[in-house]
């Protein structure tokens, strides 16, 4: 069992709250539970890239549903992170078509360069490495997803280095 | 009324009857096993696939056979339908497979399980399973946890029938436990270790087909086959008050709801009846409960007449009148 | 054989924006459909012979005709954009490049189904596509093609972009509906079918992105015209997403009936094998369909040229044939290990099983562990028969087709590449050598 509480107070920003209302209003009267998946994405984005128990309970209250209904859903879908992740979550596709074009090599390169194993986060909290199943980029393999972006054709070490550099620079620029 | 033939036995049932319920009207070998279906729980069934049967003829109008085996608990009969259950080698072979699947992750340790003797999976495997396991892999394991003062959850034994979540959904006001994660990693859990506390939570134990949810007050205090089940009732404001007292000598070891021949509770009982009245003085004891002959619970217990009584009655009574038969001693 | 009706305008700069799309004839089908009787639109789609492009190949028009209009309950159209089948990346391409074509199809289909609220369920990972679609919706609304009183006809329609969150199973229509209701993606037990009781218990049609994108052309040109494209029973064009060890991976629109040899080797499409390697095997329609060795893929068991059509690919049944499926075309060269690939696919299905019914929940994991053993040199000869027996007991016995999808690749791998499995068991130390098992003479 995995249930992490942070003790933090979770509350959406004014802008997100507006988005919440907008989302809930898309569905027919009384069907606000349909907003659960989108709201969990919103919460994950806003509360540090993962969902604490507090964040899930918060969403449950917003939709007037039982917390267990949120946990059931949050644990079902693979995109919801139920423990903290690094600033950049690198999700490498490992399914067949990517595998035959070098996904395994990509994973080992990343493990080596970041000095972490699959599923771990770098000590500086910058990167989390995770293998995932098919991301529908089979023709552009090997690839990984980082946040909103697909990084495709990562078939050479230079491209992997470039990507990591780019992300590091992005992190430095934001700090 | 429409006509259906199951394993060569023809009968008439009302439209909208499932194959399972039609078969139960016939009784005996014709009845498919059920590990997840539970008559009184809305939405139950279809999951375990233990009750798959062959439809050799869809209906009189469209006599084509159905291409796949169908779940008898959630397939309605059609007029003129021909169903094969225990007479179909394909069905029996598939059922062996289902037993095997259910045991891929279920420990084979009945001797140390508290449910032994009244376990639906044990019975199902005994009736339909292979003699030995073909899976040599590690089975998934969990530590048993307490979900409140009354119930022990041992996920290691769970076969994910979803019945307990339906009890919580349908009998109680607030559900705190559910099915978490996905696929083979699915588990019944409260996520954050919460107590399941409401007046009817104890029924989750009764509907659990295996030893995943057990009664903390009874666990490992006695083997069910050493106990004498006695029908009893009391006036209760919350439930029917109709229960079974599981006794050894004068001592009440546990109280459960009454189950029918398909291991189903028709009248759920409240937690007060279940856990607050271990004194026979609180009850009107009706007499020994009729137990099926083959059950281990009958072992060395009743006189021959008592044991055979229910079976004789089964054959004489219309099975649909089972409810009125309940409590007869 | 290179007629394009979906991707014909793909080269036009700015086609993803409303003004460019509109000035190139976009949204004409909406205007036309609004003047038609809804039943007539469905009739045109029926006449076209269009078959569901998500993988099952069920006739789209027929599916639409089942929707319950008598009850008077609200009807919903749900566009299935949960593209997750390994090897398939065509819907993503359509939505990314031609968002307005998808919207136009949805509006026209909604008119046919008399729906006033429609959803497009996009897999959660496609975050940029969700933005593209939302932008397109705003544009279409501003232009009066969406929202209240569309083009002054009194017809109202809202389209909602719904995000998934990582679950292959939500591509199954009833799991998708459950997910859309904010629940776990557990497929429902059918009947009732969505056409009678779908989203919120109301009549619902779930159609794949590509099927919906074909609707504007059908409405504009008539179903009969569409039926002339391709070959009988496999009419129209199909998007094929080609990947694996080929020179030109990518998304191609082909006219159904194209010989597979042309598709695989002509420079216009896949462009032949990468690095001059020999062809070993092909998975023609997404990871779920049976893998075929090179020889059986290029020619049927009767020695006829195999075509890219529903019938030709299925020729010979599962013994010697496969399926067109979703059009996820995965090509394997001589260096690829079938056992490893089968293990990989099985791990995928194990990971994606919802866990509701026991054969799939327990069987996929069991198969994965057996395959893992074989692939890593720990297998026993009896494992091959055990694996065969396990897949057989999953197939056909589950609530939804995921069980079949998990069983078929395993069955086909054993059927056609049994020697390769045996080799793994006999030569455990050499398992990692990846040049075994050319089942057929090399064809380049």
* Chain A residues closer than 8 Å to B145 by CB: 1
Residue C443 clears pLDDT 70, i.e. is over it: no
C368, closest residue in chain B (CA to CA): B137
User: Could you give the percent of chain C with pLDDT greater than 70?
Assistant: 97
Residue B329 clears pLDDT 90, i.e. is over it: no
* Chain C residues closer than 8 Å to A97 by CB: 86-87, 243-244, 330
* Chain B residues closer than 8 Å to C397 by CB: 49, 52, 68-69, 94, 97-98
> C83 and A136 in contact by Cβ < 8 A?
yes
The pLDDT score that the predictor gives to residue B192 is 77
**d(Cα B275, Cα B228) in Å, to the nearest integer?**
18
> C165 and A149 in contact by Cβ < 8 A?
no
Query: Between B301 and C362, where is the model more confident?
Result: C362
Q: Where are the domains of chain A?
A: 14-76, 88-173
* Chain C residues closer than 8 Å to B185 by CB: 355
> B175 and A1 in contact by Cβ < 8 A?
no
> A72 and B178 in contact by Cβ < 8 A?
yes
Residue C438 clears pLDDT 70, i.e. is over it: no
User: Could you give the percent of chain B with pLDDT greater than 70?
Assistant: 88
C369, closest residue in chain B (CA to CA): B137
The pLDDT score that the predictor gives to residue B173 is 78
**Where residue B324 falls among pLDDT bands split at 50, 70, 90?**
very low
- A interface toward C at CB cutoff 8 Å? 26-28, 31, 33-38, 40-41, 63, 65, 69, 72-73, 76-80, 94-97, 99-101, 132-141, 145, 147-149
Q: Tell me what the mean pLDDT of segment B311-317 comes to.
A: 43
**d(Cα C165, Cα C148) in Å, to the nearest integer?**
30
**Where residue A175 falls among pLDDT bands split at 50, 70, 90?**
low
Residue B216 clears pLDDT 70, i.e. is over it: yes
Give me the CATH topology for the region B97-215. Alpha-Beta Plaits (3.30.70)
Residue C60 clears pLDDT 90, i.e. is over it: yes
Residue C431 clears pLDDT 70, i.e. is over it: no
Q: For C367-401, how does the pLDDT look when each residue is reduced to its tens digit (9 = 90+)?
A: 999 999 998 888 999 999 999 999 999 999 999 99
**d(Cα C141, Cα B115) in Å, to the nearest integer?**
62
* Chain B residues closer than 8 Å to C386 by CB: 134
**Where residue C433 falls among pLDDT bands split at 50, 70, 90?**
low
Q: In what helix (H) or strand (E) does residue B119 lie, and over which residues does it extend?
A: none
B92, closest residue in chain C (CA to CA): C393
> How near does any CA of chain B get to the CA of A80, in Å?
11
* Chain C residues closer than 8 Å to A26 by CB: 158, 160
For residue B18 the two structure tokens come to 């499932």
**d(Cα C175, Cα C82) in Å, to the nearest integer?**
11
* Lookup result for tokens 């094998």: C273
Measured between CB atoms, which of C351, C355, C366 is closest to B104?
Answer: C366
**Where residue C435 falls among pLDDT bands split at 50, 70, 90?**
very low
> How near does any CA of chain B get to the CA of C382, in Å?
10
Query: For B56, phi and psi rounded to 5 degrees?
Result: -80, -25
Q: In chain B, count H helices and then E strands.
A: 8, 14
For C3-40, b/e burial (b = at least 16 CB within 10 A) is eebbbebbeeeebbebeebbeeebbebbeebbebebee
B136 at A interface, C-beta within 8 A: no
Q: Residue C366 CB: number of other CB atoms within 10 A? A: 26
> C89 and A139 in contact by Cβ < 8 A?
yes
**d(Cα B298, Cα B226) in Å, to the nearest integer?**
9
Give me the CATH topology for the region A88-173. Glutaredoxin (3.40.30)
Q: For B40-97, how does the pLDDT look when each residue is reduced to its tens digit (9 = 90+)?
A: 999 999 999 999 999 999 999 999 999 999 999 999 999 999 999 999 999 999 999 9
**d(Cα C129, Cα C107) in Å, to the nearest integer?**
19
Residue C350 clears pLDDT 70, i.e. is over it: yes
Q: Which of B162, B172, B184, B191 to mutate to test the interface with A (most CBs of A within 10 A)?
A: B191
> B193 and A1 in contact by Cβ < 8 A?
yes
**Where residue C408 falls among pLDDT bands split at 50, 70, 90?**
very high
CB C309 within 8 A of CB C257: yes
**Where residue C299 falls among pLDDT bands split at 50, 70, 90?**
very high
Query: Between C159 and B127, where is the model more confident?
Result: C159
> B160 and C355 in contact by Cβ < 8 A?
yes
Query: For B188, phi and psi rounded to 5 degrees?
Result: -85, 125
> A68 and B190 in contact by Cβ < 8 A?
yes
Residue C23 clears pLDDT 60, i.e. is over it: yes
* Chain B residues closer than 8 Å to A66 by CB: 174-176
Q: Tell me what the mean pLDDT of segment A163-175 comes to.
A: 93
B184 at C interface, C-beta within 8 A: yes
> A68 and B182 in contact by Cβ < 8 A?
no
The pLDDT score that the predictor gives to residue B307 is 43
> How near does any CA of chain A get to the CA of B197, in Å?
14
The pLDDT score that the predictor gives to residue B85 is 97
Segment among A36-50, B36-50, B224-238, C428-442 with least mean pLDDT: C428-442
Strands (E) in A60-159, as ranges, are 88-93, 127-132, 144-146, 149-151
The pLDDT score that the predictor gives to residue C377 is 84
Q: Where are the domains of chain B?
A: 2-87, 97-215, 224-299
Neighbours of chain A (3+ CB pairs under 8 A): B, C
A64 at B interface, C-beta within 8 A: no
The pLDDT score that the predictor gives to residue C434 is 53
Crossing angle of the two packed helices A36-46 and A14-25, in degrees rounded to 10? 170
Residue C441 clears pLDDT 70, i.e. is over it: no
Q: Which of B147, B156, B180, B182 to mutate to test the interface with A (most CBs of A within 10 A)?
A: B180
Q: Residue C91 CB: number of other CB atoms within 10 A? A: 32
Query: What's B48's DSSP letter?
Result: S
Nearest to C364 by CA among C352, C381, C376: C352
Measured between CB atoms, which of C89, C167, C345 is closest to A136?
Answer: C89
**d(Cα B175, Cα A58) in Å, to the nearest integer?**
17
Average pLDDT, chain C: 95
**d(Cα C444, Cα C429) in Å, to the nearest integer?**
31
Segment among A131-135, C10-14, C334-338 with least mean pLDDT: C334-338
Segment among B239-253, C127-141, C427-441 with least mean pLDDT: C427-441
Residue B314 clears pLDDT 90, i.e. is over it: no
Residue B130 clears pLDDT 90, i.e. is over it: no
Query: Which residues are bridge partners to B71 per DSSP?
Result: B52
Residue B294 clears pLDDT 80, i.e. is over it: no
For residue C101 the two structure tokens come to 């074509």
Q: Residue B256 CB: number of other CB atoms within 10 A? A: 21
> C355 and B183 in contact by Cβ < 8 A?
yes
Going C3 to C254 to C12 to C35, the CA torsion angle's sign is positive
> C350 and B97 in contact by Cβ < 8 A?
no
Q: Tell me what the mean pLDDT of segment B20-38 comes to.
A: 96
Q: Tell me what the mean pLDDT of segment B234-247 comes to.
A: 96
The pLDDT score that the predictor gives to residue A9 is 87
Distances (CA, A) of C258 to C244, C297, C427: 20, 14, 41
> B174 and A76 in contact by Cβ < 8 A?
no
- C interface toward B at CB cutoff 8 Å? 167, 184, 189, 350-359, 361-366, 369, 386, 389, 393, 396-399
Segment among A80-89, B128-137, C71-80, C363-372 with least mean pLDDT: B128-137
Instruction: Name the CATH architecture for the domain at B2-87.
Output: Roll (3.10)
Query: Which residues are bridge partners to B9 per DSSP?
Result: B6
- pTM for the model: 0.94
ipTM of the complex: 0.97
Q: For C182-219, how does the pLDDT look when each residue is reduced to its tens digit (9 = 90+)?
A: 999 999 999 999 999 999 999 999 999 999 999 999 99
Residue B306 clears pLDDT 70, i.e. is over it: no
Measured between CB atoms, which of C351, C359, C369 is closest to B183?
Answer: C351
Q: For C61-90, how does the pLDDT look when each residue is reduced to its tens digit (9 = 90+)?
A: 999 999 999 999 999 999 999 999 999 999
Residue B311 clears pLDDT 50, i.e. is over it: no
Q: For C271-289, how does the pLDDT look when each residue is reduced to its tens digit (9 = 90+)?
A: 999 999 999 999 999 999 9
**Where residue B15 falls among pLDDT bands split at 50, 70, 90?**
very high
Give me the CATH topology for the region A14-76. Arc Repressor Mutant, subunit A (1.10.10)
C183 at A interface, C-beta within 8 A: yes
B187, closest residue in chain A (CA to CA): A1
């Amino acid at each position: 069992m995995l249930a992490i509480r942070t003790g933090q107070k979770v509350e959406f920003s004014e802008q997100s709250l507006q988005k919440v209302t907008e989302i809930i209003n898309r569905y027919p009267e009384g069907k606000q539970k349909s907003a659960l998946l989108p709201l969990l994405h919103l919460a994950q984005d806003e509360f540090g890239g993962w969902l604490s128990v507090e964040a899930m309970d918060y969403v449950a209250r917003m939709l007037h549903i039982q917390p267990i209904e949120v946990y059931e859903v949050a644990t079902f879908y693979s995109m919801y992170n139920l423990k903290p992740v690094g600033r950049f979550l690198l999700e490498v596709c490992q399914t067949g078509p990517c595998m035959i074009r070098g996904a395994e090599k990509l994973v080992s390169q990343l493990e080596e360069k970041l000095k972490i194993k699959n599923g771990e986060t770098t000590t500086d909290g910058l990167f989390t490495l995770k293998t995932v199943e098919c991301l529908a980029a089979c023709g552009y393999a090997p690839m990984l997803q980082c946040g909103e972006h697909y990084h495709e054709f990562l078939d050479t070490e230079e491209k992997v280095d470039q990507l990591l550099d780019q992300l590091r620079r992005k992190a430095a620029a934001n700090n | 009324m429409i006509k259906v033939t199951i394993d060569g036995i023809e009968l008439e049932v009302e439209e909208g009857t499932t194959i399972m319920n039609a078969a139960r009207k016939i009784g005996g070998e014709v009845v498919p096993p059920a590990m997840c279906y539970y008559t009184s729980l809305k939405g139950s069934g279809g999951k375990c696939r233990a009750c798959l049967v062959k439809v050799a003829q869809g209906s009189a109008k469209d006599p084509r056979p159905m291409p796949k085996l169908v779940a008898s608990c959630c397939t309605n009969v059609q007029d003129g339908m021909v169903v094969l259950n225990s007479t179909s080698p394909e069905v029996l072979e598939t059922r062996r497979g289902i037993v095997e699947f259910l045991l891929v992750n279920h420990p084979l340790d009945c001797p140390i399980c508290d449910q032994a003797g009244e376990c639906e999976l044990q019975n199902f495997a005994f009736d339909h399973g292979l003699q030995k396991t073909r899976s040599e892999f590690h089975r998934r394991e969990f530590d048993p946890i307490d979900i409140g003062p009354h119930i022990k959850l041992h996920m290691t034994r769970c076969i994910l029938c979803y019945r307990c979540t339906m009890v919580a959904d349908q009998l109680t006001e607030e559900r705190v436990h559910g099915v978490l994660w996905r696929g083979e990693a699915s588990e019944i859990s409260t996520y954050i270790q919460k107590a399941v506390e409401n007046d009817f939570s104890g029924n989750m134990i009764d509907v659990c087909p295996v030893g995943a949810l057990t009664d903390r007050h009874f666990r490992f205090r006695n083997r069910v086959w050493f106990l004498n089940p006695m029908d009893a009732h009391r006036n209760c404001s919350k439930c029917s008050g109709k229960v079974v007292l599981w006794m050894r000598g004068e001592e009440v070891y546990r109280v459960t709801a009454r189950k029918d021949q398909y291991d189903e509770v028709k009248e759920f009982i409240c937690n007060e009846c279940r856990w607050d009245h271990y004194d026979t003085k609180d009850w009107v004891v009706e007499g020994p409960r009729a137990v099926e002959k083959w059950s281990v619970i009958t072992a060395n217990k009743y006189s021959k007449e008592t044991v055979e009584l229910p079976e004789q009655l089964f054959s004489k009574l219309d099975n649909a009148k089972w409810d009125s038969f309940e409590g007869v001693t | 054989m290179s007629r394009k009706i979906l991707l014909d305008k793909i080269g036009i700069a700015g086609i993803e924006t409303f003004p460019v799309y509109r000035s190139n004839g976009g949204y004409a089908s909406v205007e036309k459909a609004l003047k038609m009787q809804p039943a007539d639109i469905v009739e045109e789609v029926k006449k076209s012979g269009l078959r569901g492009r998500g993988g099952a190949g069920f006739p789209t028009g027929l599916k639409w005709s089942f929707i319950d209009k008598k009850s008077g309950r609200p009807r919903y159209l749900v566009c299935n954009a949960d593209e997750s089948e390994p090897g398939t990346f065509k819907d993503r391409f359509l939505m990314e490049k031609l968002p307005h074509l998808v919207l136009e199809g949805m509006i026209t289909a909604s008119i046919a189904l008399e729906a006033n609220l429609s959803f497009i369920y996009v897999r959660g990972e496609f975050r940029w596509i969700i933005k593209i679609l939302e932008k397109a919706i705003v544009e279409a609304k501003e232009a009066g093609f969406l929202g209240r009183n569309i083009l002054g006809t009194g017809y109202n329609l809202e389209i909602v972009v719904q995000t998934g969150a990582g679950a292959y199973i939500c591509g199954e229509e009833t799991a998708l509906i459950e997910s859309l209701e904010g629940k776990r993606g557990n497929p429902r037990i059918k009947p009732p079918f969505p056409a009678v009781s779908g989203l919120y218990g109301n009549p619902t049609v779930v159609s794949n992105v590509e099927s919906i994108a074909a609707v504007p052309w059908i409405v504009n040109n008539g179903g009969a015209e569409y039926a002339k494209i391709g070959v009988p029973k496999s009419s129209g064009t199909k998007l094929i997403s080609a990947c694996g060890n080929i020179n030109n991976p990518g998304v191609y629109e082909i006219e159904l009936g194209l010989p597979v040899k042309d598709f695989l080797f002509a420079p216009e499409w896949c462009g032949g094998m990468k690095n001059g390697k020999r062809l070993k095997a092909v998975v023609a329609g997404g990871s779920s369909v049976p893998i075929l060795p090179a020889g059986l893929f290029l020619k049927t068991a009767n020695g006829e040229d195999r075509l890219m059509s529903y019938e030709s690919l299925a020729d010979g049944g599962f013994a010697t044939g496969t399926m067109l499926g979703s059009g996820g075309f995965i090509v394997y060269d001589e260096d690829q290990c079938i056992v490893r690939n089968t293990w990989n696919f099985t791990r995928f299905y194990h990971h994606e099983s919802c866990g509701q019914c026991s054969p799939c929940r327990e069987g996929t994991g069991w198969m994965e562990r057996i395959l893992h053993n074989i692939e890593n040199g720990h297998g026993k000869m009896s494992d091959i028969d055990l694996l065969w027996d396990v897949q057989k007991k999953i197939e056909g016995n589950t609530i939804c087709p995921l069980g079949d999808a998990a069983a078929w690749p395993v069955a086909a791998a054993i059927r056609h590449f049994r020697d390769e499995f045996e080799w793994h068991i006999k030569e455990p130390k050499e398992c990692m050598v990846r040049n075994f098992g050319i089942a057929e003479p090399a064809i380049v």
